[in-house]
A and B are shown apart, each in its own frame.
Chain A
Amino acid sequence: MGIHRRTRLNVVDNSALGKEADTTGKLAYCINVYKQGRRAKHLPHAELGDKILVAIRGQMRKAYVVGANTHVHYRKHGVPVTDNNMIVLLDEEGNPLGNRITAPIPTKLLANRGNVQFSKVLALANKYI
């Protein structure tokens, strides 16, 4: 029901760190959402294309949300909803950690092309849904 603190996330890029987290079953989880919420001191839910901070294998990493399992009541017309929450990890400079995205990602993310950091993530995608 929205990506929030402690929501578990699947890494869908081919970075070694992400693969390790997915194969060991100790999934990455969200610890912060870089977004201004409606209420002060309350963490907003991350949506498609939001940047979050995740805890993964004892490290903290920034990541972009590229697939969200949205609640039925909060779905929008024509926006794909995946069964898992999917993220793409970023390194310290804000560049993607892997060099390929292994899952199809929603076309709605293409609207964020103007963002320099996010366009680097989009460049790794090979299939859109």
Chain B
Amino acid sequence: MLRRSLGSLRSFSSKCKSEPQTASKSSNTIRKEANLVGHIAAFPEIYPDFLQSPVWNRRNALKEELERRDMLERRMNIDIPEFYVGSIVAVTSSDSNLGAKEHRFVGICIRREKEGLHHQFTLRNTIEGIGVEIMYDLYNPTIKKIETLKLEKRLDSDLSYLIDALPEYSTFDFHMEPLAHPAGTPIPINETKVKLKPAPWTRRWEIFGCAGIEDSWSGATPWFKRKLQKTKVNDYEKYDLVAAYREGSTLEHEVAVQKQIQKFENERHAAGLTRRRILRSAAAAK
């Protein structure tokens, strides 16, 4: 998202009559380098765990480097497939309490949060009419297997509103067959607009402007509608380019991480220990 906005700025500057060539020089080299390593365009979405913290004073190069090494080691032991918020994912984790010693949960991924080794994702499903959410740490060693049953995206990058939606929108079959995604085709976007249950809701969905909710304003209670004029709505933040730069991922970081992953993969492949690939993109595959 950020790079797209920066890219449009760059194209604007090239048409600009003042031609600030010195400002665009460094970006040209990074673009060239990105092409050279075969940079995955959707890197921030496929690997949100390899990004930097949006809070700048939590960024620590040494910590990130150490965590990245652990993450790559883990990814050599378990196949972590590509999935997005909105994809249907099955997780098999070991559970000492059950007789089978393992527990499988299927659900729609509604959230992906945190960077580095602490990356979390949440699955949601409705079981016997009861909405259930399970948060998993992506790099927790108790996870035995992660499968993407259906690779798709939704209109939003956070589907927390499914808790207030009708249960049919978060009901998925546990015995669902995995649907193969044809390689090289873009990730399909599921444009379902969910209907919310009657208010009260857990949060004020009418002010967040979620694209995946059908008419949240008319469902809101009159009390909250009246309260809107006293509410601080931060909808102007999407125009704040500096904030987007601060919180988003930079091409420099993505290229550096991708190079590191490629180097790690090549070393392991050369050693003949494994043939597992970490860097994959269903949309960019040939």
Name A79's closest neighbour in chain B (CB-CB). Answer: B134
On whether the beta carbons of A129 and B98 are closer than 8 Å, the reply is: no
Answer yes or no: A76 CB below 8 A from chain B CBs.
yes
Answer yes or no: B181 CB below 8 A from chain A CBs.
no
Answer yes or no: A111 CB below 8 A from chain B CBs.
yes
A33-86 interface (Cβ within 8 A of B): 67, 72, 75-84, 86
**Which A residues are CB-close (under 8 A) to B140?**
77-78
Answer yes or no: A127 CB below 8 A from chain B CBs.
yes
On whether the beta carbons of B134 and A82 are closer than 8 Å, the reply is: no
A129 in contact with B127 given A78-B93, A78-B140, A107-B97 (CB within 8 Å): yes
On whether the beta carbons of A80 and B132 are closer than 8 Å, the reply is: yes
A104 in contact with B127 given A77-B142, A78-B93 (CB within 8 Å): yes
Minimal beta-carbon separation of B78 from chain A (angstroms): 15
Among A79, A81, A82, A107, the residue within 8 A (CB) of B98 is A107
Among B105, B111, B163, the residue within 8 A (CB) of A129 is B105
Answer yes or no: A124 CB below 8 A from chain B CBs.
no
A128 in contact with B93 given A77-B140, A80-B134, A82-B130 (CB within 8 Å): no
Distance between Cα atoms of A81 and B107 in the complex (Å): 13
Distance between Cα atoms of A84 and B128 in the complex (Å): 13
Among A81, A84, A86, A110, the residue within 8 A (CB) of B97 is A110
A128 in contact with B98 given A83-B131, A103-B128, A107-B103 (CB within 8 Å): yes
Answer yes or no: A108 CB below 8 A from chain B CBs.
yes
On whether the beta carbons of B136 and A108 are closer than 8 Å, the reply is: no
Distance between Cα atoms of A80 and B134 in the complex (Å): 5
On whether the beta carbons of A78 and B163 are closer than 8 Å, the reply is: no
A110 in contact with B98 given A76-B135, A78-B136, A78-B140 (CB within 8 Å): yes
Minimal beta-carbon separation of B86 from chain A (angstroms): 18
Q: Chain B: how many interface residues by the 8 Å CB criterion?
A: 22
On whether the beta carbons of B142 and A81 are closer than 8 Å, the reply is: no
Answer yes or no: B82 CB below 8 A from chain A CBs.
no
**Which B residues are CB-close (under 8 A) to A102?**
128
Among A82, A127, A128, the residue within 8 A (CB) of B131 is A82
Distance between Cα atoms of A110 and B99 in the complex (Å): 11
On whether the beta carbons of B132 and A82 are closer than 8 Å, the reply is: yes
Task: Report which residue of A83, A84, A127, A129 has the largest number of chain B beta carbons within 10 angstroms of its beta carbon.
Answer: A83
Among B128, B133, B142, the residue within 8 A (CB) of A80 is B133
**Which B residues are CB-close (under 8 A) to A86?**
130
Among B95, B122, B133, the residue within 8 A (CB) of A107 is B95
**Which B residues are CB-close (under 8 A) to A127?**
127-128
Residue numbers of B with Cβ under 8 A of A are 93, 95, 97-98, 103, 105, 111, 120, 122, 127-128, 130-137, 140, 142, 163
21 A–B contacts from the bound complex (CB under 8 Å): A75-B135, A77-B120, A78-B95, A81-B132, A81-B133, A81-B134, A81-B135, A83-B130, A83-B131, A83-B132, A84-B130, A86-B130, A104-B128, A104-B132, A107-B98, A108-B97, A110-B97, A111-B97, A127-B127, A128-B98, A129-B105
Known contacts A102-B128, A103-B130, A110-B97; 15 further A-B pairs (Cβ under 8 A): A76-B135, A77-B137, A77-B140, A78-B93, A78-B95, A78-B103, A78-B135, A78-B136, A78-B142, A79-B135, A80-B105, A86-B130, A104-B127, A111-B97, A127-B127
In the A-B complex, the 9 residue pairs with the smallest Cβ-Cβ separation, listed nearest first, are A110-B97, A83-B131, A75-B135, A77-B137, A107-B97, A81-B133, A80-B134, A104-B127, A80-B132
